[in-house]
Amino acid sequence: MSNKQDANRQASFRPIVGIDLGTTNSAVAYIHKGKPEIVPNPSSKRIIPSVVLIDLQGQVIVGEDARAACVAMPDRTVAAVKRHIGSAERIPIAGQALLPQEISALILKELKSYVDAHFGPGEKEAVITVPAYFTDEQRRATKQAGELAGFMVERIINEPTAAALAFGLAHLEEDRHVLVYDLGGGTFDVSVVEMMSGLLEVKTSNGNSQLGGEDFDWKIVDWLADQMIAEYDVDPRQDLRAKALLKDAAEKAKITLSAEETALISLPLVTVQDDRPLGIETELTRSQFVALIEPFLSETMTCLRNVLQDAGLQAGDIGEILLVGGSTRIPRVRELIRQYLGREPRTDIHPEEAVALGAAVQAGLKSGALSDSGLVATDVAPFSMGIAVLTHWKNRSVRPGSFHIIIPRNTTIPVTRSDSFYTTADYQTSASIEIYQGEHEWVKHNHRLGEFLLEGIPANEAGAEEIEVTYRYNLNGILEVTAQCVSTGKAMTVTVQDALNRESQEAFAASASRLEALFNQSAENESEPDSDDAEDEWEIDGVLAGTEEEDAETDWPTVLHSEAAALLTRAQNLLSDLAPNDRTLLQKTIDSLQAAIQGEDIDRLRELIDQATDTLIDLEV
């Protein structure tokens, strides 16, 4: 290659990185000299907590410092947002209400800052991982989060597949079946991957996108709360800060029990009742912890058995076991897998880095950085996909709502499949195409992806007009559906990724504007000189406090009125869904907040904001 060609190539070079956007932790990696490497943060940390804080000065903080603020400022921090991604429900934070993908974008933007520091400014492309059992909405929202953060997101890949890629790159000549058991902070997946001399073919996947270490933590929280209820007749979970404190203690106890048989939990002050501090000091043994989480672990083993059955394999056919995700450090997890599969899982795989490293391998395959490796990977559709149809019910009547599968689950992707259907009424001129994914024979038990209307069908007798429906499922796990009237050739195509939501472009623009305003505010506050007289410090009650001069400069009425307004919106949206007693309680809260907003008693407003937050948390559970 000439120097001029090399210069042109360098000028057009756009780095492609792999990202593990995790429930608990996140990481970003790239290919360096033929191998995947983690891009560390400025403090040389290889993974960061997936926690976002908007502090009292309006600055956006992501990572360790944000996690440290979870107890002190629970209303200004958000953790485990991955569990909400794909939902249209807004998440309150610091008096604002952001969509899950917007909060996820803040985490990804932090990771992008590490990439920019490493490669320099400019466009960056990303491969982002998701649980294999993520729905179409969750995948779309993850892709959107990456784009809001400033990445070009060309590929979404499944986490177990990524972990297998990280392993497969170092074992290209091996032929064997690999089981990937991925138990993270908020999700669980298990996949069987067949390795054939550089070809990695995902055979089957199973899992639960709402099962993980977060559930284990909350089981400990409930256990601690029950002890305090028995001793004080007070439920600490009704206090927002007390609940956050117990959650923090529960997570630390869980981690301790991975190495020790007993964890001491000592919290002198959890909450206050009648001006009396209430605390707890107790021990949690490993056997007690295992008893609390055994139902969750049993479900993972059921998924494991199902995935082997779907692959047509026996336990003895598995050549390697990869454990991925921080929750696989729990000794009982390894014990259950060893008992069932009859072999030890590998111990040389970093459970919290494997997915990011594998995403980097996929990025390297896409960019050409690993084009000479000989590695090729295929994946599968985790769900069956099809449409709602009429069906003959017990040979006597026609019943709507039957699920007709067009792409069966565990079909290798990308894939295109078509099927033919017919009009059901005389002179029918349109057909509603209802799109679902799932495994039940009736669509009401499956996951609805959307609906569109094919019009312009010639008026004819029932059954005379043929409608061909085509499903195209791409490498990102995103679906495109086409319906065509065969007699006229008239067709309508919908990319479920964005077209079913006709306001998707407007919604994306609105999200981008909100985040831009948030970062502009954060940048303005960050540029202001810090006081040389005193640094911010943590008060004993968990409220971030500064010097008197700093407090005097803060426009507390504006800040508190903004928080109260966000709480009012949240409460009013919830009101109609509640039982009568709960509705009455929430209406009183709304009335009190509205009165306080009109008044001038800032301390009273602050008190009611705390009470309203606690009430909403209780009612939204």
Neighbouring residues of 292: CB distance < 8 A, sequence distance ≥ 6: 216, 219, 220, 223
* CA 398 to each of CA 123, 401, 402, 507: distance values in angstroms, whole numbers, following the listed order: 55, 10, 10, 40
Question: Total domain count for the chain?
Answer: 1
The band of 504, judged by pLDDT with boundaries at 50, 70 and 90, is low
Residue whose C-alpha is closest to residue 36's, from 55, 18, 21? 18
pLDDT tens string 406-417: 999 989 888 999
Could you tell me which residues come within 8 angstroms of residue 512 by beta carbon, excluding any fewer than 6 positions away? 148
Omega into 40 within 30° of 0, i.e. cis?
no
The pTM (predicted TM-score) of the whole model is 0.75
- The candidate with the shortest Cα–Cα distance to 346, out of 148, 176, 107, is 176
Catalytic (active-site) positions: 20, 82, 159, 182
pLDDT given at position 548: 34
In one-letter notation, the amino acid at residue 260 is: E
Q: Report yes or no on 421 lying in a domain.
A: yes
pLDDT higher for 344 or 503? 344
In the prediction, which pLDDT does 535 show?
37
What confidence score (pLDDT) does residue 123 get? Answer: 85
Mean pLDDT estimate for the chain: 85
Question: Taking residues 20-38, what's their average pLDDT?
Answer: 95
Residue 570 lies in a domain: no
Specify if 420 maps to a domain.
yes
Q: Check residues 345 and 395 and name the one with the higher pLDDT.
A: 345
User: Does residue 485 fall inside a structural domain?
Assistant: yes
Confidence (pLDDT) at 170? 87
Position 74 pLDDT exceeds 60: yes
Q: Tell me: the pLDDT tens digits for 268-296? A: 999 988 888 999 999 999 999 999 999 99
pLDDT at residue 538, as a whole number? 31
**Does residue 84 or residue 608 have the better pLDDT?**
84
The reply to whether 298 falls in a domain is no
Rounded mean pLDDT of 19-43?
95
Does some domain include residue 469?
A: yes
Check whether 7 has a pLDDT greater than 50.
Answer: no
Please give the full DSSP string across 497-537, using - where no structure is assigned.
TTTTSTTHHHHHHHHHHHHHHHHHHHHHHHHSPPPSS---E
Would residue 223 count as lying in a domain? Answer: no
pLDDT at res. 216:
97
Which of 333-337, 380-384, 525-529 is least confident? 525-529
Would 453 be classed as within a structural domain?
Answer: yes
- For residue 561, pLDDT over 60 is answered with yes
Read off the pLDDT band of 516 (50, 70, 90). confident
pLDDT of residue 13 exceeding 60: no
Q: What is the pLDDT of residues 535-546, one digit of tens each?
A: 333 332 333 333
Domain encompassing residue 451: 385-495
Highest mean pLDDT among 228-242, 436-450, 541-555: 228-242
H or E, element range at 321: strand 318-324
User: Are the C-beta atoms of 177 and 318 separated by less than 8 Å?
Assistant: yes
Convert the pLDDT of each residue in 295-350 to its tens digit.
Answer: 999 999 999 999 999 999 999 999 999 999 999 999 999 999 999 999 999 988 89
pLDDT higher for 573 or 126?
A: 126
* Predicted local distance difference test score (pLDDT) of residue 217: 97
CATH number at residue 477: 2.60.34.10
- The predicted pLDDT at position 498 comes to 44
Residue 197 has pLDDT above 70, yes or no: yes
Q: Could you give the angle at the alpha carbon of 344 between the alpha carbons of 175 and 348, nearest 5°?
A: 75
